[in-house]
Amino acid sequence: IVAPDLLGHGLSSAPSDKNFYRFSQMLEYICLVFDLFVPQGRKCIVIGHNYGSALAAALARGRPSSVSLIVLASCGGPSPLVPHSKNENALNSYVTRFLNPFISCGCLSRELLYTPRGKHYPVVSSDETGLSSTPKYVVEYTSQGQVWPEGDLPFHRRITIPSLLLYGMKDNCVSFVEMCEMEKTIPRAFLELIPGAGHELMTDCAEEVCHAIHRFIRRWKHNI
């Protein structure tokens, strides 16, 4: 098991140059770590959560012969990444809460909730959780570095390996509608719901998440 800390987080270094935190640069770091631990001809399973799920999806597409299964937790919909816009995010959250009941019953189309700009993942600072010592500039640069126009619907449609999508039903950052859209887009995607979990479902319901991943691996063990 290899669990790298993203640049600026955990035990990784935290340079003060914002260019280091661009999505393309982050992906390059992840690919370097991947190639170091996964030699040519070896298969592995890639797991990503939140922003890490976008990196995991890009890695799976970039290393198709080495990634046999992928798990995307709290990944959102098949939309490009865009920098943070506080006003737009606040408006979208209110609109989403209002329209979700109508979309669930089929009265409205789920496409109403997608902006032409794309999606943005929340970057949590130590002030909000008290669990990490992530510098504030790292949070800001990581948030602004989320630029990935290639990560659109056609990109995700070309992910052909079995994909497990995990979603906490109490998630206030990613909507159920977005997860359903991702399941519909990736050809062999399977959405599993964790009723008691929020956005941080790995810590909210660790045992349920582990069981879900274990079932998924057992089902597709012939791919590994």
Q: Are 54 and 142 in contact (CB under 8 A)?
A: no
| 110's tokens | 């789920």
Q: Does any domain span residue 1?
A: no
Instruction: Report pLDDT for 91.
Output: 47
Q: What is the pLDDT of residues 106-142, one digit of tens each?
A: 555 444 445 456 899 988 765 444 455 788 999 999 9
Q: Does some domain include residue 7?
A: no
Q: Does residue 30 surpass a pLDDT of 60?
A: yes
**Does the pLDDT of residue 94 top 70, yes or no?**
no
**Token pair of 111, please?**
């496409």
Contact 84, 118 (CB under 8 A): no
Q: Domain holding 61: CATH number?
A: 3.40.50.1820
Over residues 32-54, the pLDDT tens digits come to 999 999 988 899 999 999 999 99
Contacts of 171 (CB under 8 A, 6+ apart): 74, 197, 198, 199, 201
Kindly state whether residue 13 falls inside one of the protein's structural domains: no
Longest CA–CA separation in the chain, Å? 50
pLDDT at 23: 97
Contact 68, 223 (CB under 8 A): yes
Q: Is the confidence at residue 93, as pLDDT, over 80?
A: no
Task: Give me the domain span that covers residue 52.
Answer: 18-223
The tens digit of pLDDT for each residue in 142-199 reads 999 999 999 999 999 999 999 999 999 999 999 999 999 999 999 999 999 999 999 9
For 105-138, give one letter per residue: b (16+ CB within 10 A) or e. Answer: eeeeebeebbeeebbbbbbbbeeeeeebebeeeb
Helices (H), the chain: 23-37, 51-62, 86-104, 126-129, 136-144, 153-157, 176-185, 201-204, 206-219
Dihedral over alpha carbons 69, 72, 73, 77 (to 10 degrees): -150
Token representation of residue 68: 């046999």
In a domain? residue 10: no
When comparing pLDDT for 100 and 170, which is higher? 170
- Bridge partners of 81, per DSSP, are 119, 148
Domain count for the chain, please give it: 1
Three-state secondary structure readout of 9-62: CCCCCCCCCHHHHCHHHHHHHHHHHHHHHCCCCCCEEEEEECHHHHHHHHHHHH
Q: Does residue 3 sit within a domain?
A: no
Task: Give mean pLDDT, residues 75-97.
Answer: 70
Q: Which amino acid is at 3?
A: A
Structure tokens at 42: 């070896």
Which one is predicted more confidently, 94 or 172? 172
